[in-house]
């Protein structure tokens, strides 16, 4: 892993749905999915460093449950007026 990569801490989320995702955004976090071959894991991310990873090479270190893995941004949904992140999909790189 490169030292120049951004490190972002994430948390697992147990609930899904539109109203729960709105509550997550109200708390200042971004809902997302960590996609693997046959399943996806629902997560919440702190958006402060996500823009730095998006403008860079789209790879960063994700710390999830104490384990650090290198992930890549697969898709990032952005609000059309506010230009803030709404949802992010990540894949292992």
Q: What is the pLDDT of residue 1?
A: 47
Distance, CA of 50 to CA of 31 (rounded, Å): 12
For the chain, list residues with pLDDT below 50: 1-2
Q: What is the pLDDT of residue 58?
A: 84
Q: What is the pLDDT of residue 26?
A: 94
| Residue in this structure with the two tokens 């749905």, named with its chain if needed | 17
What pTM did the predictor assign? Answer: 0.86
Distance, CA of 15 to CA of 4 (rounded, Å): 33
Q: State both tokens at 26.
A: 């109200």
List the domains of the chain with CATH numbers: 7-92 (2.40.240.10)
CA dist 93 → 24, 36, 61, 71 (Å): 26, 10, 10, 5
Q: What is the pLDDT of residues 45-57, one digit of tens each?
A: 988 888 888 887 8
């Amino acid at each position: 892993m490169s030292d120049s990569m951004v490190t972002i801490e994430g948390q697992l989320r147990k609930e899904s749905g539109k109203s729960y995702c709105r509550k997550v955004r109200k708390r200042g976090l971004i809902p997302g999915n960590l996609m693997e071959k046959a399943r996806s894991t629902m997560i919440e991310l702190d958006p402060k460093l996500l823009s730095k990873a998006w403008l860079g090479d789209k790879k960063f270190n994700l710390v999830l449950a104490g384990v650090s893995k290198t992930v890549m941004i697969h898709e990032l949904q952005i609000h059309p007026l506010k230009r803030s992140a709404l949802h992010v999909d990540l894949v292992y790189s």
